[in-house]
Amino acid sequence: MSKTASKLLFVVVMALCAGCASRYDVIAAMHRGGYDEVLENTENINDFPERDRTLILNYRAQAKLGLGYHLSARDDFLRSWNIMNTGAGGGHAAAYVIAEDNKYYMGDPYERVFNSYYLGLLYYMLNAPEDAMASFTNALFADTGDFKLNEYAADFVPAMVMRTRVYLDRGAKLDAQDQLKALNALPKNERNFDPACPWFNIDDQLNTNTLFFVELGDGPFMTAEGRHGQTRVIHPSRYPEAYAEIYVDGKTLGRTYKVADSFFQAVTRGGRAMDEVLKGKAIAKDVTTVVGAVGVGVGVSMMENGDSTAGAITAGVGALVLLAGLLLNPEADVRSNVLLPGEVHLMQAQLPPGPHDVELRVFDKDGRELRRMRQEGLDLNVPQKGDAVMLLRSQPRYKIPLQEADRLADPYARHKTIR
């Protein structure tokens, strides 16, 4: 091999390695410093490879939400919403030929559902009910595989509950009833939601003004399995939380009810078109690697036996096929938003307008309280008109903004001031 070819080989290897640069480990960042660490790490989105930026935006939005910067979180969820729902993606050729994770992250359907759901909640909490309505509608759209065949019909209950609330905010009681009818027509599958949830009727919806969405546990994660890692497997996370109980001003409102399960959402929308491509790539990788190696071997033998021209051609073609086989990476893309919760629980109540003191207690499946997850002294302000919405998480716990200014603050300006 000439010196020029060797140099070029080095450049190619470096370029390909650059394409395989290590991913941002958000779980490690959360262990190191929680949402503050993620917020700091992700300040400059342009520091990350283009193909990962939408995922990073979702991480940053989640961190801002967790720290109580609702307006800024909404902006990031909206930025990523635009890419996940109206973008065409990118890195297609490299994803097909080299590795799937060269494509721009756009999220699986369940990740798009959660993105729209958070965006809708934040719009609703920031007094933009019509934008909230559109976001919740899109959450259901993203959860729907094929309208024509009525396949994978949307079954994400939190979006249905919130669409009901927006209809009531408009004064459209009949539309709210229609939405509840659709909710009550869902299969009563306890893996998806608790059918015993008592607020799925118009009377209770009309007679409540406060919604608590309590997130429990961690969401699913993905691994690449199989000989070449070509099979993407979605795993549920294990967590002890089973339900929560909410106290307001020292009195219990009762237990929460599960309205969404992110693992169920992740695995109940059929297979991916990409899975077939990856299977084909895995087979092609085996074949090209073997054929290429044999070609090189035969070519070298031919040259050793005096047939130098034919031997060189055979060896060259063999090397080409071998290189193609080595470059072909059938490994499945396992990037996912691992900051999502395992479950979403709901509590609705009618509370007098004004300030209230909220306490969250979390329990395991045997009814034992998980004491370290108890959250006390949470401030809730119920408005004279409209709903109060409180978003809580067992762990890592969400900060509740103390004042409107905190909710609207620029997190980076504030963090720099603190430093």
Partner 1 sequence: MIKNRLFLLMTAIALLMTVAACGSESTRVDPKDDEEDPIQSSGPYSSDLLEVTDVIMAQFKAERVSEDFRDQYKDAPIIAVIRPLNDTRFPNITKIFEERLISGLMKKTTRRELRFVNRESDTLDAVAAEKAMKESGEVTDRSGRRTKYGADFFLKAKFTALSMTDGDHSSDTINYSFELIDPETTEIVFKGDHLIKRVSEKDALYR
* The one-letter amino acid at 194: D
**Between residue 278 and residue 317, which ones bind partner 1 under the rule CB under 8 A?**
312-313, 315-317
The piece of 56-64, 145-153, 210-218, 397-405 that touches partner 1 (CB under 8 A) is 145-153
The nearest distance, CB 292 to partner 1, in angstroms, is: 11
Identity of the residue, 85 or 289, whose beta carbon is nearer to partner 1 in the bound complex:
85
Q: d(Cα 360, Cα 341) in Å, to the nearest integer?
A: 17
Kindly state the smallest distance separating residue 288's Cβ from partner 1, in Å: 13
From the list 280, 302, 284, 304, the residue with the least C-alpha distance to 292 is: 284
Residue that is written with structure tokens 């009814």 in the block: 367
Q: Which stretch binds partner 1 (CB under 8 A): 9-17, 176-184, 249-257, 395-403?
A: 9-17
Q: Are strands 388-393 and 210-218 parallel, antiparallel or unpaired?
A: parallel
d(CA 10, CA 14): 6
Q: Which stretch binds partner 1 (CB under 8 A): 15-23, 219-227, 259-267, 388-396?
A: 15-23
Whole-angstrom distance, CA of residue 404 vs CA of residue 392: 17
Q: How far apart are CA 177 and CA 201, in angstroms?
A: 8
Could you tell me which stretch among 6-14, 24-32, 250-258, 365-373 binds partner 1 (CB under 8 A)?
6-14
CB–CB of 323/295 below 8 Å? no
Nearest Cα residue to 358 out of 388, 379, 389: 379
Which one of the spans 54-62, 63-71, 90-98, 286-294 is the region binding partner 1 (CB under 8 A)?
90-98
Contact status, residue 157 vs residue 192, Cβ threshold 8 Å: yes
Is residue 388 close enough to count as binding partner 1 by CB under 8 A?
no
Residue 89 Cβ vs partner 1, minimum distance, rounded to whole Å? 6
Q: How far is the CB of 49 from partner 1 (least distance, A)?
A: 9
To partner 1, the closest distance from the beta carbon of 41 in angstroms equals 22
How many CB atoms are closer than 10 A to CB 78? 17
**Residue 28 found at the interface with partner 1 (CB under 8 A):** no
Q: How far apart are CA 103 and CA 154, in angstroms?
A: 27
Residue 380 · residue 388 · CB < 8 Å: yes
Size of the site for partner 1 (CB under 8 A): 69
**By CB under 8 A, is residue 253 in contact with partner 1?**
no
Tell the smallest beta-carbon distance from residue 93 to partner 1 (Å): 6
Per the CB < 8 A criterion, the answer to whether 255 and 303 are in contact is: no
Contact call for residue 103 and partner 1 (CB under 8 A): yes
Residue number with CB closer to partner 1 (321 or 338): 321
In this structure, how many other beta carbons lie within 10 angstroms of the beta carbon of residue 137?
16
- Per the DSSP assignment, residues forming a β-bridge with 393 are 215
The helix or strand, by DSSP H or E, that contains position 156, with its residue range, turns out to be none
H or E element at residue 17: helix 3-19
147 binds partner 1 (CB under 8 A): yes
The minimum distance between CB 234 and partner 1, in angstroms, equals 16
According to CB under 8 A, which one of 92, 227, 368, 416 is a site residue for partner 1? Answer: 92
Judge contact between 358 and 245, C-beta under 8 A: no
* Binds partner 1 (CB under 8 A): choice among 284, 319, 351, 388: 319
The window from 26-34, 259-267, 282-290, 320-328 that contacts partner 1 (CB under 8 A) reads: 320-328
Interface pick for partner 1 out of 137, 208, 231, 289 (rule CB under 8 A): 137
Residue 233 interacts with partner 1 (CB under 8 A)?
no
123 interacts with partner 1 by CB under 8 A? yes
Paired tokens of 222: 């993905």
Per CB under 8 A, the segment of 27-35, 124-132, 249-257, 407-415 that binds partner 1 is 124-132
Minimum CB separation of residue 383 from partner 1 in Å reads: 11
Task: Name the token pair of 97.
Answer: 């030929």
Q: Is 247 in the site for partner 1 (CB under 8 A)?
A: no
Enclosing H/E stretch for 291: helix 273-304
Given CA atoms 69, 84, 236, 338 in this order, what sign does their dihedral have? negative
Considering the complex, what minimum distance in angstroms separates the CB of residue 226 from partner 1?
19
Q: Pick the closest to residue 118 from 84, 149, 150, 89 (CA basis).
A: 84
Binding residues for partner 1, per CB under 8 A?
1-2, 4-5, 8-9, 11-12, 15-16, 18-19, 50-51, 78, 81, 85-98, 100, 102-103, 106, 119-120, 123, 127-128, 130-135, 137-138, 141, 144-149, 170, 272-274, 277, 312-313, 315-317, 319-320, 323-324, 327
